[in-house]
Chain A
Amino acid sequence: MTPVLAKRVIPCLDVRDGRVVKGVRFEGLRDMGDPAEAAARYDAEGADEIALLDITASHERRGTLLDVVERTAKATFVPLTVGGGVRDEADVEALLAAGADKVSVNTRAVEHPELVGAAARRWGCQAIVVAIDAKRRGDGWEVFVHGGRTPTGKDAIAWSREVADLGAGEILLTSMDRDGTKDGYDLALVRAVSDAVSVPVIASGGVGSPAHLAAGLLEGRASAVLAASIFHEGTCTIGEVKRYLSAAGIPVRASEQAA
């Protein structure tokens, strides 16, 4: 067992109307099952955390999300990050009460950055993740909000520094260009943000193979790697990914321990 902090492997469940879905570049969604069942499976396979991102379009269906979070939290014994449509401290509080360990904020962090600081002071910075959806623009990357539909004019690197200063405990960084493509992470983006901030960065968007996860950790220097389709579609199990990363010299928590 390597006596260092392990790199984290995080399966992500995109949830719409209470079901796991997956699309390509944020579009064309397919049903991939029940979130709590999937989370319990990944937990048993050795996932280091579970991410659950709600992409339900309307805010009226929040009850469905809270129910999913509660069922997922009951079925898992690893940290659970929940995001999607979080608008204010009341939303954060409701998700934490339902069983989330960390709450991810995206659009609202851009619209009302003070929410990040207020929530971090109230629940601790470790409870607040800022999710950043970034798209290549010339030499840099631009931040998009509203599920990737609205450009903000903000530079992703500068915004990462800003949210870390505001009190975000982690940054969940998604490349919109790569999301769902299985072409691998935008490694330059991951590396640029990892180098820019002192808080952990979770790489997201584009994973098609265990090699992509290794690259995110080695070349991208991410603290954690997030993926969805490769796990949902059965391309590989968490255990297979852990063994691959371990063979590549990356410190991971052995999944045998949890299997």
Chain B
Amino acid sequence: MGNVFSVVRALEHVGASGVVVSADPDVVRRAPRLVFPGQGAFRDCAAALERGLGAAVRESIARGAPYLGICLGLQALFASSEEAAGAAGLAIFEGTVARLRGGPDEHGGSLKIPHMGWNTARPTRPHPVLGPEAHYYFVHSYAVRPSDPGLVAATTSYGEDFVSVVAKDNVLACQFHPEKSQRAGLGLLGRFMSM
């Protein structure tokens, strides 16, 4: 999905003002909070992060600025992905990004990949931004596998139970698209803005 304008519209809908879309490391470094929607494929994202942007995002997170990762903005927190051998992510968390395994569907056929549509994110622990169990909109073929189980904040079932939200300190990152998840998503974005 990755329509950055949808993210801006949703943030403004929940009361955010002064939302700036930028890939300029200086702008990112100075921002009081970051939303990283992540667009396209892991390799393109990794290439963009190499050009100074990655260092700025790392600094911002280390400084304690609230960070919301969406979809690729979750996957990019890890060092590498099966989607793009050799491409380097932010490596803020240890673990990998692996292709969804799929499996049988309810008719005895195969689950469709990408995993596309509304599925349930089940919180594994209370989190002030995440909120209760809800349906969110997903579009992805890869999922994160954190080494530290303590990072996991929610899981979702699709052939396997995959990690749909990770959270640590000022970082929250979700595999689904809150900007396209109606009331549940807008609620999450609103809570992030008051984090």
Tell me the A residues contacting B by CB distance below 8 Å.
1-8, 43, 46, 48, 73-74, 77-79, 96-97, 99-102, 123-127, 169-170, 195, 198-200, 221, 223-224, 253-254, 257-258
Contacts and interface: CB of A to CB of B under 8 A. Distances in A.
Contacts of A126: 1, 114, 116, 139
Contacts of A253: 118, 135
A199 B122 CA distance: 26
A96 B3 contact: yes
Given A1-B135, A48-B118, A77 B1 contact: no
Contact of A198 (B113, B122, B138, B185): B113
Contacts of B41: 124
Given A5-B138, A97-B5, 5 more contacts: A4-B106, A8-B117, A73-B6, A79-B137, A258-B183
B190 to A, nearest CB: 12
Contact of A77 (B116, B119, B157, B185): B185
Nearest to B112: A200
Nearest to B189: A77
B33 interface: no
Contact of A221 (B107, B120, B133): B107
Contacts of A99: 3, 5-6, 9
Given A3-B157, A43-B182, A170-B116, A254 B135 contact: yes
B117 A223 contact: yes
B122 A8 contact: no
B134 interface: yes
| Chain B interface, >50% SS class | mixed
A-B pairs, 8 with minimum CB distance:
A253-B135, A253-B118, A6-B118, A126-B139, A3-B157, A258-B182, A5-B119, A3-B120
Contacts of B186: 77
A101 B135 contact: no
B158 interface: yes
B126 interface: no
Contacts of B181: 77-78
B179 to A, nearest CB: 7
Interface in B115-141: 115-120, 122, 133-135, 137-139
Interface of B: 1-3, 5-6, 9-10, 13, 40-41, 106-107, 109-110, 112-120, 122, 133-135, 137-139, 156-158, 179-186
A3 B122 contact: yes
A195 to B, nearest CB: 7
A258 B2 CA distance: 22
Contacts of B112: 198-200, 223
Of A78, A223, A258, which is in contact with the most chain B CB atoms at under 10 Å from its CB? A78
A3 B121 CA distance: 8
B117 A224 contact: yes
A99 B7 CA distance: 10
A166 to B, nearest CB: 16
24 contacts: A1-B120, A3-B119, A3-B156, A4-B106, A5-B138, A6-B117, A6-B119, A6-B135, A7-B117, A43-B182, A46-B182, A77-B180, A77-B185, A96-B3, A99-B9, A101-B3, A124-B1, A125-B114, A126-B1, A126-B116, A198-B113, A200-B117, A221-B109, A223-B116
B5 A77 contact: no
Given A48-B117, A77-B185, A78-B180, A5 B158 contact: yes
A8 B118 contact: yes
A99 B1 CA distance: 11
Given A5-B158, A127-B1, A200 B116 contact: yes
A124 B2 contact: yes
